[in-house]
Chain A
Amino acid sequence: MNKFLLILGFLLGPGQTVLAEERIALIPPSAYDRAAIYLNLALFWVALIVLIVLIRLKLREIERVQAMDAGRDDENIPMLD
């Protein structure tokens, strides 16, 4: 999260670019800003891959339970709550 705020802080400050002739800077030119963006991208991919792995875990668990045919609860199981 603080990476986010770092990026925002720099995009608002020195990262702003001026319309010079017809070129505008599309990615902030300074190395610090660029590094922050790439690092953020890497963190995003890590988070994404962890999420995909967790979903796969869940899927495998479901398939395991389905193969055992153990999925459904009985209708009238006495519950404590």
Chain B
Amino acid sequence: MNFPRLRGWFEERYDLTDVAAAVKKKFVPVHSREIWYYTGGIVLFLFIIQFFSGLALAFYYIPYFEAAHKSVIDIVTKLNMGWFFRSLHHWGAQLTILVMFVHVFATLLLKSYRKPRELQWVSGFFLLGICIFFGLSGYFLLWDERAFAAVRVATGGAGNLPIFGAWIKAFLRGGIDVTGETLTRFYAFHVSVLPLLTLAVLGVHLLLVQLHGMSVPLSQKGKTQRQVPFFPNAFCRDLMIWLVVLGIVVTLATLLPPDIAKKADPLAPPPENVKPEWYFLFLFQTLKLFPGTLAGMNGETIAIVFISLAIMFLFLMPFFDKKSSSGERSPLFTCIGLGYLLYFVVMTIVGYFT
């Protein structure tokens, strides 16, 4: 299956030999830690699944608060394979966020953020924020009790930031309280603003990968580097892993379709023991750790400031970690990274079981 005449037609018009040569020059290092190289690609693939399944759902979802809940139920019950695409989108989202956290912590602990890849880390951090906001806005579109309560807490929490808090809260909510306006706004975020932002930032992130190549962990320094060409060797491996991921998502979607709670009522109290989605649990637990007032100031504000500082520090890690920037091992920052990971995992588990 060579289609020589078709290729001939193309080659008479477009000279892609430079592009082909550049692609052939892409190499991927081979070493004991190379499995972590594939996490980024998996997140990309899951994003693409989300894009397509979300696109399908957008054909039928109605973003008006009176009709939103019912439209989801109609999708699930009345359409050909509707339940499957909604389930696929739900599980795709869960896995995307999970693998994204794996990717973040892998790059953190393997110190891929060190010089010269600082901007890689920065763009990746933006993508993390975008992804989490995708999760929050998408979950809200169900307009059920749990989602409503979750968004109330989340936007309320954001509102506790000093100085910017009230402004952010008003921007997200589209008003003083969470209403149908919020739904319209979140829908615009979820299907338009965030995808466009993702395309832009992801483009930068991927371009930087092409420019820098793959980072080799400090532990491999000094060992002779074996390399394989990206195309086709690592690309085939990528494809196989992506197909397995597809199988996992489809299986989860088929066997464990998600349910939907009662329609949201802005005037009703939140349901018993309401909890946010699992990727917010660690924040939720952290908030619970702080008392109502501390040294005369609002406990929540202090909690939010503390969390913001921790996130800021993580964001600026490449610039604080001088040792790894100069190529030396940096056990202090490995410990800090492990600390973040442990805190995240432990708080999530605690949040899940209480």
Taking Cβ atoms with an 8 Å cutoff, the residues of A that contact B are 7-8, 11-12, 16-17, 19, 22, 24-27, 37-38, 40-41, 44-45, 48, 51-52, 55-56, 58-59, 62-63, 79, 81
Contact = CB atoms under 8 A, between A and B. Distances in A.
17 contacts: A7-B81, A11-B80, A24-B73, A24-B77, A24-B260, A25-B77, A26-B76, A37-B254, A38-B254, A41-B251, A41-B254, A44-B247, A52-B244, A55-B239, A56-B240, A62-B233, A81-B4
A36 B265 CA distance: 38
Contacts of A7: 81
B236 A81 contact: no
B259 A81 contact: no
Contact of A52 (B76, B240, B255, B261): B240
A37 B83 CA distance: 12
A27 to B, nearest CB: 6
A62 B239 CA distance: 15
Contacts of A16: 77-78
Contacts, number: 65
A17 B78 CA distance: 8
Interface string B226-265: 0000001100110110011011001100110111111000
A44 B81 CA distance: 15
Given A55-B239, A55-B240, A59-B232, A22 B247 contact: no
B246 A48 contact: yes
Contacts of B13: none
Given A37-B254, A59-B236, 17 more contacts: A7-B81, A8-B80, A12-B80, A25-B77, A26-B258, A27-B257, A41-B250, A44-B247, A44-B250, A45-B247, A48-B243, A48-B244, A48-B247, A51-B243, A59-B237, A63-B233, A81-B4
A22 B233 contact: no
A81 B5 contact: yes
A44 B240 CA distance: 15
Going nearest first, the 8 A-B pairs with the smallest beta carbon separation are A26-B257, A59-B236, A48-B247, A41-B254, A8-B80, A52-B240, A22-B262, A55-B240
Contacts of B5: 81
- Main SS of the interface on chain B? helix
A40 to B, nearest CB: 8
- Main SS of the interface on chain A? helix
B232 A62 contact: yes
Nearest to A12: B80
Contacts of B244: 48, 52
Contact of B236 (A24, A40, A44, A55): A55
B111 to A, nearest CB: 30
B76 A24 contact: yes
A24 B81 CA distance: 16
Contacts of A62: 232-233, 236
Contacts of A52: 240, 243-244
A26 B236 contact: no
Nearest to B263: A22
Contacts of A58: 232, 236
A19 B74 CA distance: 10
B80 A59 contact: no
Contacts of B254: 37-38, 40-41
Nearest to B72: A24
A71 to B, nearest CB: 10
Nearest to B258: A26
Contact of A26 (B81, B259, B262): B259
Nearest to B262: A22
A16 B255 CA distance: 18
Contacts of B259: 24, 26
Interface in B63-102: 73, 76-78, 80-81, 83
Nearest to B257: A26
B262 A59 contact: no
A24 B76 CA distance: 9
A8 B259 CA distance: 21
